[in-house]
Amino acid sequence: MSFSEVTLQLLNGFGTTCLLFILTLVFAIPLGLIISFGSMTKFKPLRYLTRGFVWIIRGTPLMLQLFVVFYVPGMLFDTPIFATIENGRFVAALIAFVINYACYFSEIYRGGIESISKGQYEACAVLGMTKGQTFFHVVLPQVVKRIIPPMSNEIITLVKDTSLARVISVIDIVFAAETILSLRALMWPLFYAGAFYLVFNGLLTLLFGFVEKKMDYYKV
């Protein structure tokens, strides 16, 4: 099997990997903010419910969560819901990843939001700003700057975690490499696949460095 053939098959899988990565971020970043509000709310039942949920999601392996989302509907209720939709396996993986990463993000957001001093809220109140104005114009911009390093950590982990989706047979780049291994007895494609991740994460690292520089003007 030639180098170009292997590259083509791996690129095919890498497309799925990238799509899973990007869509997970698109949905998990806003969902994480909502969850972080839930775990900071003064309404106790909701706060305990949210924190309990975050505890379960962060406390169990992502692989098991993939199994639960994909297999449990068919096993317990006789309705394999992902069988009827196109790319059902990918959708199931996306749901599991979004929930999992939203929970991790929510704790990062919570740390960022709680790090803003009470004095700033009081100053805003004195100036007659509404709660919404205070949050979106004063608090959030500072939070964004503060959470970039921990967020970039999680996001780089996400790039590599996407390979877990292969446990429910989503054909990602690692699955593609494993298939070549089992069909052609070739091991190098697996390490070649590692190079794809390395380059992709290198680009992300550069991007985060750039964003951090852009945020420099917030002296807090």
Partner 1 sequence: MKRKILAIVLVLVLVLSCVAAFTACKSKKTDAEYILDKGTLICGITLYEPMNYFNNDGDLIGFDTEFAEAVAEKLGIEAKFQVIKWSSKEIELNSKYIDCIWNGFTVTEKRKENITFTQSYLNNTQCVVIKASNAALFANEEACAGKRAVAEAGSAGETAANELTTNVTPKGAQVDALTEVKSGTADFAVVDVVLANSMVGQGDYADLAIATGIQLESEEYAIGFRKGSDMAEKVNAVIADLLADGTLQTLAEKYGVAGQLIK
Residues of the shown chain interacting with partner 1 in the complex, contacts defined by CB under 8 A: 43-46, 49, 67, 70-80, 82-83, 166-169, 171, 178-179, 181-188
Q: Specify the residue for token string 């590599």.
A: 160
Spatial contact of 166 and 172, defined as CB atoms under 8 Å apart: yes
- By beta-carbon proximity to partner 1, the closer residue of 116 and 171 is 171
Q: Specify the residue for token string 């390395």.
A: 198
- By beta-carbon proximity to partner 1, the closer residue of 75 and 123 is 75
Spatial contact of 108 and 150, defined as CB atoms under 8 Å apart: yes
- The whole-angstrom separation of Cα 60 and Cα 141 is 32
CB of 77 to partner 1, least distance (A): 3
- By beta-carbon proximity to partner 1, the closer residue of 34 and 75 is 75
Coil, strand or helix at 171: coil
CB of 119 to partner 1, least distance (A): 31
CB of 57 to partner 1, least distance (A): 17
CB of 178 to partner 1, least distance (A): 8
- By beta-carbon proximity to partner 1, the closer residue of 82 and 196 is 82
- By beta-carbon proximity to partner 1, the closer residue of 1 and 123 is 1
Name which of 88, 76, 94, 77 is nearest 164 in CA terms: 94
CB of 70 to partner 1, least distance (A): 8
Spatial contact of 105 and 32, defined as CB atoms under 8 Å apart: yes
What are φ and ψ of residue 207, in 5° steps? -60, -45
Sign of CA dihedral 175, 178, 183, 187: positive
CB of 48 to partner 1, least distance (A): 8
What are φ and ψ of residue 81, in 5° steps? -60, -30
Sign of CA dihedral 32, 37, 43, 48: positive
- By beta-carbon proximity to partner 1, the closer residue of 191 and 217 is 191
Spatial contact of 91 and 85, defined as CB atoms under 8 Å apart: yes
